[in-house]
Structure 1
Amino acid sequence: MYPALAFLLLFFAGGRVPVNREFRPTPGGIPVFVVSNGFHTDIVVPVREPRTGTDWLQQLGQPQLTAQFSAHEYAAFGWGSERFYLASYGGRMPGVGTVLRAAGPGRTLMHVGFYQSAPRPGQHVVALQISADQYRRLTTLLQASFAPDSAGRAQLRNAAGYTPSDFFFRARGRYHALRTCNDWTAATLRRAGLRAPLKSPLAGPVLRQLRRSRAAAGQAPQ
């Protein structure tokens, strides 16, 4: 009982514990963003990044997406419960039953969206510049979150998402109450070397720790 209680305490208090406290944005580095709708977080990166040779349209391997979004500048990546994502179609709020079922272990999806230009920093958007090495690590981690098919290609789950510019792909890992979409974001940022909370079931601590890294570098917290 006590180990479980200690883990729950860590999970809900972990948002106050920073990892990579020494991280500072890189002046002139590669622009990345963390975007929230108040409940969920996405990591937003350039569609094409010449310093690292990254091309996300090529990585996704979907010719129809390449044709449609070749002029877009940024791509957003989020991980979450397949049940919750698909029950949210049409702007619907999933019912209590769906939310409770999502709290148990279940399959996951990667939510991928495209931006014509960079997100505007604000209450729910934190902008950072990171080094090429940090970006390479971040790219590797994002790629590893997709569940590939037998040929190693990302698997498109739905031909459309919530809008004409977002889509769902099959993902690795199981979603549950102790492994949420925001905890995935926090873990991905941490492993890439960015400041992030130790654990975070909520969006707020993820944004707050990133803002503190900006403040420590003498940048406006946004």
Structure 2
Amino acid sequence: MNAIKKIFKGIAYILLIPFLYIFISLILSWISVDRIDPSPKVHQPIYLTTNGIHLNIVLHKKHLNSTLRSGLKLDQGDQYLSFGWGDENFYLNTPQWSDLTLGNAFNALFLKSKTLMHVTRYQNKQNDWVRVEVSQAELQKLNDYILNTFTKDINNHLIRLKHQGYTSRDDFYKAKGSYSLFKTCNTWVNTGFKKSGLKSCLWTPFDFGLLDKYE
């Protein structure tokens, strides 16, 4: 009987871990980090967009600094670019949520892995984007944060994966960092806002954590 009790206790502890993770994540998502400059001279709009789980930052191409803009693939008519960061294997092998496997999810969350920047190009602003007003100084810091996430080659060029986008409107680029349970695609966006001096969550692995601050 003691052995059976130990087994059930061990199972209970294992099941408790994801509940604690979600509970703590929700609390930290709810806690706000205030904007560094409470009354900035706001000049430019940026946007947040999500597919329901994965959050992205959207900038108009004229708001990209010259180094970042020159390193990206741009087609005639492209006006807006969204930036997302995530696990390489997950990005390339899980284009739809129906393609998700337990192995891909486990590797992304728990094992050290390579990462990619996912850049999608738009010709027009989308109605479901969430608008965020920023100052020129905040915009520059956000540009620097995005640019510094890209891996560069020996000539300081961004490294684009050829023929790897989901459609003709998006591309993948090599990125820095390793995805984990504590550093997700959404924590990357939230950290970018925090480092840029914008209102953000204390920490969040969810897309709604940051969206709720601006909707």
TM-score interval, normalised by the smaller of the two chains? 0.7 to 0.9
CA distance in 1, matches of 2:123, 2:156: 28
Tell me the CA shift for residue 54 of structure 1.
4.0
Question: How many residue pairs align between the two structures?
Answer: 196
Does residue 117 of structure 1 match 2:131? no
More displaced 10-residue stretch of structure 1: 94-103 or 141-150: 94-103
More displaced 10-residue stretch of structure 1: 25-34 or 131-140: 25-34
The structure with more helix, counted as a fraction of residues = 2
Partner of 1:96: 102
More displaced 10-residue stretch of structure 1: 9-18 or 75-84: 9-18
Structure 2 spans left out of the alignment, 5+ residues: 1-16
Tell me the CA shift for residue 117 of structure 1.
1.3
CA RMSD of aligned residues (A): 2.6
Large movers: runs of 4+ above 3 Å: 7-12, 21-28, 52-57, 89-92
Partner of 1:126: 130
CA distance in 1, matches of 2:157, 2:117: 14
Partner of 1:107: 114
CA distance in 2, matches of 1:19, 1:148: 31
CA distance in 1, matches of 2:210, 2:53: 11
More displaced 10-residue stretch of structure 1: 97-106 or 33-42: 97-106
**Which of 189, 195, 198 matches 1:191?**
195
Q: Tell me: CA distance 1:14–1:90, structure 2 relative to 1, closer, same or farther (3 Å).
A: closer
Does residue 71 of structure 1 match 2:77? yes
Q: Secondary structure at the match of 1:178?
A: coil
**Which of 153, 157, 169 matches 1:149?**
153
CA distance in 2, matches of 1:55, 1:145: 13
Structure 1 spans left out of the alignment, 5+ residues: 212-222
TM-score by length of 1: 0.79
Tell me the CA shift for residue 82 of structure 1.
0.7
Partner of 1:30: 44
8 Å CA contact retained: 2:35, 2:197: no
Residues 12-70 of structure 1 show CA distances to partners (whole Å, capped at 9, x for unaligned) of 42101111246668676212101001100000001123xx754744133xxxx33xx13
The sequence identity of aligned pairs, in percent, is: 25
Residues 135-159 of structure 1 show CA distances to partners (whole Å, capped at 9, x for unaligned) of 1111000000001111111101243
Q: Secondary structure at the match of 2:99?
A: coil
Partner of 1:165: 169
CA distance in 1, matches of 2:101, 2:39: 40
TM-score by length of 2: 0.81
Tell me the CA shift for residue 193 of structure 1.
1.1
**Which of 82, 93, 103 matches 1:87?**
93
